[in-house]
Chains A and B, each alone.
Chain A
Amino acid sequence: MTPGAMPRFLLRRAGTALLVMLGTTFVTFLLARVVPANPAVSYLGPKARPDEIARIEAQLGLDQPLPYQYGRYLWDLLRGDWGTSIGTKLPVTDEMFGRLPATLELLLIAMLLACLIGVALGVVAAARQNRFLDHLIRLLAIGGVSVPAFWLGLLLQVFVFGGLGLFELTGRLDPDLEFTDPLREITGFHLVDALLTGHLTALSDAAAHLVLPALTLAAYPIGVIARMTRASMLEILAADHIRAARAYGLRERIVHWRIALRGALPPTTTVAGLTLAYSLTGTFFVEVVFNWPGLGLFASTALLNMDYPVIMGITLFGAAGYVLVNLIVDLVQARLDPRVRLS
């Protein structure tokens, strides 16, 4: 890699990502201002009074030409004015940032589980290529990408919680805890906050609440990661340095888990990143099923109640997260794999 190639590549990718983000604001603008018959009413809800409609029309500049309105819309977004929720009467940005840690905690734990389980399954499948275990893992992997998250979540609730009495059913923490021994919020990540404040009861309680929703959300990435790991392991196991390692008499376990896996990790990392972005939407369904107080639950309620400012805010926020994760994946991939051309 020539010196300076990486920063230039980084800049260009970041520039493209910014342009795409600008594009998404254009789409949300069209959805927010141009598609509805009366944008002011959609912003205020059906029970709006005429004076409120007049006020919001002036505030949104609805009597102005569309290019001007788009400029205003962008400016408001940049200033952090994303509107006020019809449902809760609070600023959309406050609502979103307040709920972000819950969603991120769920998403990250799910991805951690998915990487561990997915990579392990992929390595085992490659080691047993075309044998029973390989076929079983392949079926499991395709099952993971086929299963509706909302259904898997319900099944886990019925059979693991209801049947076996394991883990917790809904929510993030036992509601009683708030009265007996509340957890002090520092980061909003319950696991981290419990560790920081040394609140062990809350730590185990938060973990027990996380297991079922995280497993549900992990099903899809497990499938994708297992398949990718298997494919790249097979490719690498055919390479010369593996034959050399075997010729040295290294045990198969070492060859697979230490040597081959190291080469198989870059493509797996990329795929893991891409499924992380994909799982952003998965949180909607998992949060609804497990009553998880995050962005997804908030968004799906807003979608059904036509809470317009929230819908637009979450859409834009989701797109930003998606673009950002994809950008990071690209950069990490360029870093890990020198064969990726920096052009």
Chain B
Amino acid sequence: MSRPPGMTGVVEAAAPTRARQVVAALTRDRLGLLGLVLIALLVLTALFGPWLAPFPEQGAGLADVARHDLPPGGAHWLGTDPLGRDVLSRIILGARPALVVPILVVALAVLIGVPLGLAAGYRGGRFDEIVMRIADMFLAFPPLLLAMVIVALLGPSLLHAALALAVSWWPWYARLVRGLTAALRDRPFVEGARALGLRPFTVLSRHVLPNAAPPVIVQASVDIGTVILAVGSLAFLGLGPQPPTPDWGLMVAEGRTYVMTEWWLSAFPGLAIFLAVLGFNLLGDALRDVLDPRSVTR
């Protein structure tokens, strides 16, 4: 190692070992593997949706009234809706926003929450107090309620739903990272880095953050599933994308009117949400068993 001491980050619990543990555990754990398969399916559908959909124009919203309300079967595997649009195509085209939007929401929540948590945990004192009390105020609302209200105030759209969810999600990361940072702050390697006269930013980014990252990564990967469910829920209430967007939650809501006779209109888009969320939860469950066998829920 040619770099001067104190300039390299000390990552405890040797990262390669942990990575190997994770891979080993996932291949041993069949449910975790099932989760990976579901996520892979979702990613592939999101990437290649426009080429996979049997009726791409209809999927995007073009009506074909001649073939309306067909039950599943024939050319339309999952049936058609009252406007004659192919349900399967709409589900396939809905995969991209269903995956990308939650990833952006979690990324934004991480970008807000992690720096605040790092600073609060490291500096302590008044700053810590203020940040965490603000976080507490956000966490005092039942999950999703704050996001629903913000979307209603801004006006329903997918962008507003995403922003509202990010705004109500960051406190979780702030709280998680603050706890990890406060625990790491007095560890010898961090104290050493400080004693060398490194600036707080350098200490945090080189020495604290790498050690706080694994739990954050696990949490973020589970949260993508939770946010898929949250976006779908907002869309179902009408607080998300508007027709004729091929959105899963919106499709469930639109099909509700006809659900007793044309069950496929709501059943299949809802199944898509369920399988996507299930994939992330199965994966997260397997990861948690490896990284922290004691915790069951957040």
Binding site for B on A (CB under 8 A): 20-21, 23-24, 26-27, 31, 35-36, 135, 138-139, 142-143, 145-151, 154-155, 157-158, 162, 224, 227-228, 231, 271, 274, 277-278, 280-281, 284-285, 288-289, 300, 303-304, 306, 311, 315, 318-319, 321-323
In the complex the two chains form, is A151's CB within 8 Å of B281's CB? no
Q: Does B216 contact A (CB under 8 A)?
A: no
* A274 cross-chain contacts in B, Cβ below 8 A: 297
User: DSSP majority for the B interface?
Assistant: helix
Chain B residue nearest in CB terms to A288: B237
CA A155 – CA B252 in complex, angstroms?
11
Q: A23-B140, A139-B31, A278-B143 are in contact. Are A303 and B148 (CB under 8 A)?
A: yes
A-B contact count (CB 8 A): 141
Q: Which of A21, A31, A143, A151 contacts B149 (CB 8 A)?
A: A31
* B141 cross-chain contacts in A, Cβ below 8 A: 24, 27, 315, 318-319, 322
* B232 cross-chain contacts in A, Cβ below 8 A: 148
A135, A146, A315: residue with the most chain B Cβ atoms closer than 10 Å: A146
CA A224 – CA B281 in complex, angstroms?
12
Q: Convert B262-284 into 0s and 1s, putting 1 for each residue whose CB lies closer than 8 angstroms to a CB of A.
A: 01001100110110011001100
Q: Which of B142, B259, B274, B278 contacts A158 (CB 8 A)?
A: B259
Q: Does B45 contact A (CB under 8 A)?
A: no
Q: Which of B236, B256, B281 contacts A142 (CB 8 A)?
A: B281
In the complex the two chains form, is A281's CB within 8 Å of B142's CB? yes
Chain A residue nearest in CB terms to B148: A303
Q: Does B195 contact A (CB under 8 A)?
A: no
Give min CB distance, A189 to chain B, whole Å: 22
CA A288 – CA B256 in complex, angstroms?
11
Q: List 6 A-B contacts (CB under 8 A).
A: A145-B281, A146-B277, A154-B252, A228-B296, A319-B142, A323-B140
* B277 cross-chain contacts in A, Cβ below 8 A: 146-148
Q: A31-B153, A274-B297, A303-B237 are in contact. Are A23 and B273 (CB under 8 A)?
A: no
CA A35 – CA B252 in complex, angstroms?
32
Q: Does B225 contact A (CB under 8 A)?
A: yes
* B150 cross-chain contacts in A, Cβ below 8 A: 31
Give min CB distance, A57 to chain B, whole Å: 19
Chain B residue nearest in CB terms to A139: B31
In the complex the two chains form, is B237's CB within 8 Å of A23's CB? no
Q: A142-B278, A145-B281, A300-B237 are in contact. Are A23 and B133 (CB under 8 A)?
A: yes
CA A154 – CA B152 in complex, angstroms?
24
Q: Which of B153, B238, B296 contacts A36 (CB 8 A)?
A: B153
Give min CB distance, B161 to chain A, whole Å: 12
Chain B residue nearest in CB terms to A223: B281
In the complex the two chains form, is B252's CB within 8 Å of A278's CB? no
* B142 cross-chain contacts in A, Cβ below 8 A: 277-278, 280-281, 318-319, 321-322
CA A143 – CA B34 in complex, angstroms?
12
Chain A residue nearest in CB terms to B267: A155
Q: Which of A138, A147, A281, A306 contacts B145 (CB 8 A)?
A: A281
Give min CB distance, A284 to chain B, whole Å: 7
* B30 cross-chain contacts in A, Cβ below 8 A: 135
Give min CB distance, B68 to chain A, whole Å: 20
Q: Does B107 contact A (CB under 8 A)?
A: no
Apart from A23-B137, A150-B252, A158-B260, what are 9 other A-B pairs with CB-CB below 8 Å? A23-B136, A146-B277, A148-B277, A271-B296, A284-B144, A304-B156, A304-B238, A322-B141, A323-B140
User: DSSP majority for the A interface?
Assistant: helix
> Which 8 A-B pairs give the minimum distances between C-beta atoms?
A151-B270, A23-B137, A146-B277, A146-B278, A303-B152, A280-B142, A322-B142, A158-B263
* A323 cross-chain contacts in B, Cβ below 8 A: 140
CA A26 – CA B149 in complex, angstroms?
15
Q: A158-B267, A228-B297, A284-B237 are in contact. Are A304 and B259 (CB under 8 A)?
A: no
Chain B residues 125 to 161 lying within 8 A of chain A, measured CB to CB, are 133, 136-138, 140-146, 148-153, 156
Chain B residue nearest in CB terms to A149: B233
Chain B residue nearest in CB terms to A157: B259
Q: Convert B93-135 into 0s and 1s, putting 1 for each residue whose CB lies closer than 8 angstroms to a CB of A.
A: 0000000000000000000000000000000000000000100
* B31 cross-chain contacts in A, Cβ below 8 A: 135, 138-139, 142
In the complex the two chains form, is B144's CB within 8 Å of A146's CB? no
Q: Does B165 contact A (CB under 8 A)?
A: no
In the complex the two chains form, is A148's CB within 8 Å of B273's CB? yes
In the complex the two chains form, is A148's CB within 8 Å of B296's CB? no
Chain A residue nearest in CB terms to B229: A148
Q: Does B53 contact A (CB under 8 A)?
A: no
B138, B145, B270: residue with the most chain A Cβ atoms closer than 10 Å: B145
* A142 cross-chain contacts in B, Cβ below 8 A: 31, 278, 281-282, 285
Q: Does B26 contact A (CB under 8 A)?
A: no
CA A21 – CA B225 in complex, angstroms?
30
In the complex the two chains form, is A315's CB within 8 Å of B233's CB? no
Give min CB distance, A147 to chain B, whole Å: 5
CA A63 – CA B257 in complex, angstroms?
46
Q: Does B92 contact A (CB under 8 A)?
A: no
CA A63 – CA B156 in complex, angstroms?
30
* A280 cross-chain contacts in B, Cβ below 8 A: 142, 145
Give min CB distance, A210 to chain B, whole Å: 20
Chain B residue nearest in CB terms to A161: B260
In the complex the two chains form, is B296's CB within 8 Å of A231's CB? yes
* A300 cross-chain contacts in B, Cβ below 8 A: 237
In the complex the two chains form, is A155's CB within 8 Å of B270's CB? yes
In the complex the two chains form, is B233's CB within 8 Å of A148's CB? yes
Q: A24-B140, A138-B31, A158-B267 are in contact. Are A146 and B239 (CB under 8 A)?
A: no
CA A281 – CA B237 in complex, angstroms?
12
* A35 cross-chain contacts in B, Cβ below 8 A: 153
CA A322 – CA B297 in complex, angstroms?
18
CA A129 – CA B232 in complex, angstroms?
34
Give min CB distance, B169 to chain A, whole Å: 14
